[in-house]
Structure 1
Amino acid sequence: MATHAAPNVPFLDVLDPAFDFEAPEVYAAQAESWYADSPFGLLVLRYEEAGDLLRDRRMIHDGRRYMETHGITGGPVYDWFVPMIVNHDGDVHRRLRGLMNKAFTARRVDRLRPFVRERAERLTDPLDDGGTHDFVAEFGIRLPLAVMCRLLGVRPEDYDHFGTWTADLGLVFSLSGGDDVVARLENAVNGLNDYADHLIDDKLARPGDDLSSDLVAAYRAGDGQVSRDELRNLLVTLVFAAHDTTRHQLANAMIAFAGHPGQWTLLGRQPELASQAVEEVMRWQPSSGSVYRFAGEDFDYKGLAIEKGAYLTMCVKAAQRDPRAYKNADRFDITVAREAPPLQFGAGPHHCLGAALARVEVGEALSVLATRLGPPSVAGAVPRPGPLGIQGPETLPLRFG
């Protein structure tokens, strides 16, 4: 079933290779209507409506339908994605979410802060030579990778195994992006499944003070909290959640500041603005540029009859520049305390568990980089993915100062 837009609703061709959510026609459409039509479903363009629908329990993830929409009906990617925690609702989601809440505590995140800062300082040192550096390879990938491995209790000698796998997992939200996407995803899922099994066995034999050990302890208890298959899936999903979106957010922050060097200089002089800068970077250049949902039942919303099975995309980047939600929405300004929170972490029962950790990582990184280096400038071509899914450059040549 598909929900059909009204005849006078704007149409945006997001499958056009030249399409960009920063284009004037997007904001013209947003001014005209809270949603637009597209080649594959409705696009929600405004902040209020996107937030409403992300919280609405009649909207579901339906991982099976998402895979089948992109022509995937089986295989390792399907077997990982469909049973992922975010694709469950009701009792199963509450059980797995409760387990994660116990392991993913604010105390554990706060204890990681000194490690994050020390690693950010170490990665900043080589950037301070006046030369051109690929920020993604030298900083953006390495910081969240080290933090994720520390969080999960992965041995430092195994870090390199994770680099390509964890980066490629984010392609699951860009399945229309090219012929090699599924092959790269399958390689990543297979590698991480094998490593997760190894990690479970290691923590069963030698538990430590880390998140993996806490989750394995729940499995060892044998009281039905989590099965081995669920545990493996949780660990692989954690790798994805703790690394891919954060590495892209770090790169997107550099792009934002490269366009606003005065804001970078201000942050360097007033590092106490770092937490506010994080919120503004996530609003202005989010790593999750869009979030999808399916309608789990027929219902009406603001005069639109939404049919069961309808595919809706919350256009996070456009919604987070909606002038109805933000004063001076078209201005990047780290001195403004924005009241409306970012949408890229979702909302309601599925709000991202890793949001606090992402904020710590980006905040510590920005504080270190801005106080030690001059403003970034882009020093070469920046290849970008399509407009949907996880957003961020694969490479980012920068000079500082």
Structure 2
Amino acid sequence: MSTTVDSGPSSGDVPFLDVTAPGFGFGTPEVAEAQAKNWYAESPVGLLVLRYAEGHALLRDQRLDHNGKRFMEMNGVTGGPIHDWFVPMIMNHDGAHHRRLRGLVSKAFTPKMIAGLRPFVQARAKELAEELAAAAECEFIGDFANPLPLAVMSEMLGVPSEDHDVFHTWTTDVGLVFSIALGGDVVARVESALVGLGEYIDALMARKKAAPAGDLISALVAAQQDDPLISTEELRNLIITTVFAAHDTTRHQLANAMVAFAGHPDQWRLLGSRPDLADQAVDEVMRWLPSSPTIYRFAAQDFEYQGLQITKDTFLTVCVTAAQRDPRVFRDGAKFDITVPREAPLLQFGAGPHHCLGIALAKAELAEALPALATRLGPPSVAGPFTWRPPIGIYGPNTLPLRFG
């Protein structure tokens, strides 16, 4: 592992972590060592918040904001499809405008709607698990982690099943938006996904307006007709953002769960014999190996925090993986254990006014998927080499070859 923890360009007891180094990860001993030294570290991309209490507080601090325009500029994007989607995105608004947009999206995540989706999630998870049980080996992302949330998201939005294949390519690539600093073909892939999604969603909205059904897009189209303040562009942006949140993060969280259990086969066997632990297992998987290992903010003003002078426009990253293993908050935080109740809220879903609306749906999907697999299949083991997405952004394996004991 090429993580470095040393004085670097820092001074005193402030460690330096090179998050741009090949193979860097937030769940390493080097990061734990940095966390023991200080609540934050310096890095090539700005400040890294390593401890839970400070991360939780700063995510709620109104002196910090998302500043989508600044994030795009920092990554060399000043126009085009990515800029035009990301800058006006719901998370980049605050106050009354944010509350109005959030009120629209919350239609997707009411307890009634999630309860209505639960039988669909359960049936699809069991069907996919049975297919894995009949195979000696699988590519878990293609065979389970991708089709489950894709089917659930499509059911929620009203996307026809015959469109799933083309839809999933777009929803996969748009999730790379937080990794555009890495260059290569990332920008082109995200742009292509946004263009394809935008054109598809415009056509789907037109169909739902002509023939409404009981899905989210129909509800949003109806809301637009009742509220002249909602533009078609704003509605399209909301739907693309919902797609991005509902598919890619859950897909990677399912794959991350398998990596976690592959390293802890006794925990898998326990879940298989005690499916009543499903909800607790979901929380532990999300704590241990979150699909959103970092959350960024910008300083909206100059201010002081715990003796540290933070200047306006400072880029600050809350390191969720490290914070959710912080021994100051989590007893035996460096140990993966589905039997230990964890009282502290997970950080990967944010905090305050921007707390993720989709948390209940994501947890419901995993709570159905994990016992469906563990009660039918022995412990997973990795069946071949695989690579990871970058640790900054939505995180998980690119592919995951598995065999089940």
TM tier, shorter chain? over 0.9
SS of equivalent residue, structure 1 residue 280: helix
Match of 1:95 in 2: 100
Question: Structure 1 residues 170, 103: closer, same or farther in 2, change over 3 A?
Answer: closer
Q: Verify the 8 A CA contact 1:130 1:400 in the aligned structure 2.
A: no
Match of 2:43 in 1: 38
Match of 1:397 in 2: 401
CA offsets 1:339-385 (integer angstroms, 9 cap, x no match) = 11111000000011111000000110001000111110000012012
Correspondence list, 1:232-311, <5 A:
232-311=236-315
Q: Verify the 8 A CA contact 1:45 1:318 in the aligned structure 2.
A: yes
**Paired residues, what number?**
397
1:85 and 2:94 correspond: no
RMSD: 1.2
1:174 and 2:151 correspond: no
Q: Verify the 8 A CA contact 2:296 2:317 in the aligned structure 1.
A: yes
One of 334, 339, 349 as aligned partner of 2:338:
334
Shift of 1:171: 0.3
Q: Verify the 8 A CA contact 2:15 2:42 in the aligned structure 1.
A: yes
One of 143, 163, 170 as aligned partner of 1:138:
143
One of 369, 375, 384 as aligned partner of 2:379:
375
In structure 2, the gaps of 5 or more residues are 1-8
Shift of 1:5: 6.2
Letter in 2 for 1:57: Q
Match of 1:362 in 2: 366
Between 1:248-257 and 1:21-30, the stretch displaced more is 21-30
Match of 1:211 in 2: 216
Letter in 1 for 2:27: E
Q: Verify the 8 A CA contact 2:109 2:361 in the aligned structure 1.
A: no
CA offsets 1:91-118 (integer angstroms, 9 cap, x no match) = 2111111222244311101110000011
* Moved beyond 6 Å, runs of 4+: none
SS of equivalent residue, structure 2 residue 181: coil
Shift of 1:177: 3.0
TM-score (norm 2): 0.96
Letter in 2 for 1:293: R
Match of 1:315 in 2: 319
Letter in 2 for 1:52: A
Letter in 2 for 1:349: P
Letter in 1 for 2:29: P
Shift of 1:20: 2.0
1:27 and 2:52 correspond: no
CA offsets 1:105-132 (integer angstroms, 9 cap, x no match) = 1110111000001111111122113512
Partners of 1:6 and 1:67 lie apart in 2 by 30
Correspondence list, 1:46-61, <5 A:
46-61=51-66
SS of equivalent residue, structure 1 residue 37: strand
Shift of 1:214: 1.0
Q: Verify the 8 A CA contact 1:103 1:215 in the aligned structure 2.
A: no
> Could you tell me the percent identity over the aligned residues?
61
Match of 2:15 in 1: 10
Question: Structure 1 residues 27, 114: closer, same or farther in 2, change over 3 A?
Answer: same
One of 133, 137, 150 as aligned partner of 1:128:
133
Partners of 2:109 and 2:263 lie apart in 1 by 35
Letter in 2 for 1:47: Y
Match of 2:227 in 1: 222
Partners of 1:12 and 1:325 lie apart in 2 by 22
CA offsets 1:244-296 (integer angstroms, 9 cap, x no match) = 00000000000000000000000000000000000000000000011100011
In structure 1, the gaps of 5 or more residues are none
Shift of 1:386: 2.0
One of 338, 349, 354 as aligned partner of 1:350:
354
Letter in 2 for 1:258: A
SS of equivalent residue, structure 2 residue 72: helix
Shift of 1:90: 1.5
Q: Verify the 8 A CA contact 1:5 1:42 in the aligned structure 2.
A: no
Partners of 2:370 and 2:27 lie apart in 1 by 24
TM-score (norm 1): 0.97
Letter in 2 for 1:56: D
Q: Verify the 8 A CA contact 1:177 1:385 in the aligned structure 2.
A: no
Match of 2:4 in 1: none
Partners of 2:363 and 2:31 lie apart in 1 by 28
